[in-house]
Amino acid sequence: VLYFVGLGLTDEKDVTMKGYEAIKNSKYVYLEAYTSILMINQSKLEEYYEKEFILADREFVESNSDEMIKQAKDDDVAFCVVGDPFGATTHTDLFIRCTEMGVTVKAIHNASIINAVGVTGLQLYRFGEIISIPFFTENWRPYSFAEKMQFNLARGLHTLCLLDIKVKEPTEESLCFKYKEYMPPRFMSVSTAVDQLLEAAKENGYECYNEETKC
């Protein structure tokens, strides 16, 4: 069995009892940690569970996960994901490949920022489409997220904005020359997100929000 275990949002104690048992009873434990980040590091997890966690980065999940699926044919394997396993990123592709290879998948759910945002006091029923704000580059400044926010605001709905994380991104040079070199990790700040939202609104002539809007 391959267990998709949600780790929750903050630390090693946010896992569920069910997830804890799955991790403890698994022969191999993988940690998916490129779409989101826990507030603690891997060694803390390993200490708590008394288990070795194998880091599953983007390359692993997208290209090298067949090995993991094969292991799950004979043994219990835990694939741990920050938040909920089908939250921030759907791991649907992995799920489908498991099914095709005759491996059972069991999802163990947990909190995701998508529901935990309710702690702000805003009604979850009044959120519209979620937006992702990617880092602008010199030549790549997509504004589609602003259109969605404009739309939500016009309907009186809240918008959850997910800010870009760049971890283990290849440099442009390394992509051209086919060797591996990674950029340092970057995490978008709220002020960068706001700057990009304002730029997008200005460029597209949106009027639902501007410098005076409270959030």
* Closest distance of CB 22 from a copy of itself, Å: 10
**Residue-level length of the chain:** 215
Establish whether 124 is an annotated binding residue: no
Q: Does 60 bind a copy of itself (CB under 8 A)?
A: no
The CA–CA distances, whole Å, from 54 to 41, 45, 72, 81, 116 equal 13, 11, 14, 12, 27
Q: Does 111 bind a copy of itself (CB under 8 A)?
A: yes
Q: Does 154 bind a copy of itself (CB under 8 A)?
A: no
Work out which of 5, 30, 80, 87 binds a copy of itself, going by CB under 8 A. Answer: 87
Work out which of 2, 3, 8, 68 binds a copy of itself, going by CB under 8 A. Answer: 8
Q: Which stretch binds a copy of itself (CB under 8 A): 18-26, 37-45, 176-184, 192-200?
A: 18-26
Q: Does 50 bind a copy of itself (CB under 8 A)?
A: no
Q: Which stretch binds a copy of itself (CB under 8 A): 24-32, 126-134, 195-203, 205-213?
A: 126-134
CB 17 within 8 Å of CB 109: no
Q: Does 95 bind a copy of itself (CB under 8 A)?
A: yes
The CA–CA distances, whole Å, from 134 to 19, 103, 141, 183 equal 31, 35, 9, 16
Work out which of 132, 171, 204, 213 binds a copy of itself, going by CB under 8 A. Answer: 132
The CA–CA distances, whole Å, from 74 to 70, 77, 99, 100, 117 equal 8, 9, 14, 15, 39
For 53-82, what is the HEC assignment? CEEECHHHHHHCCHHHHHHHHHCCEEEEEC
CB 29 within 8 Å of CB 80: yes
Establish whether 87 is an annotated binding residue: yes
Q: Map tokens 């219990």 to a residue.
A: 76
- Between CA 109 and CA 85 the distance in angstroms is 7
* Closest distance of CB 6 from a copy of itself, Å: 7
Establish whether 113 is an annotated binding residue: yes
Q: Does 14 bind a copy of itself (CB under 8 A)?
A: yes
Contacts of 183 (CB under 8 A, 6+ apart): 166, 169, 170, 171
Annotated binding site for S-adenosyl-L-methionine: 9, 84, 87, 112-113, 163
- Under the rule (CB under 8 A), what is the footprint of a copy of itself? 6, 8-9, 12-18, 20-21, 83-88, 90, 92, 95, 107, 109-112, 114-116, 118-119, 121, 123-130, 132, 151, 155, 157
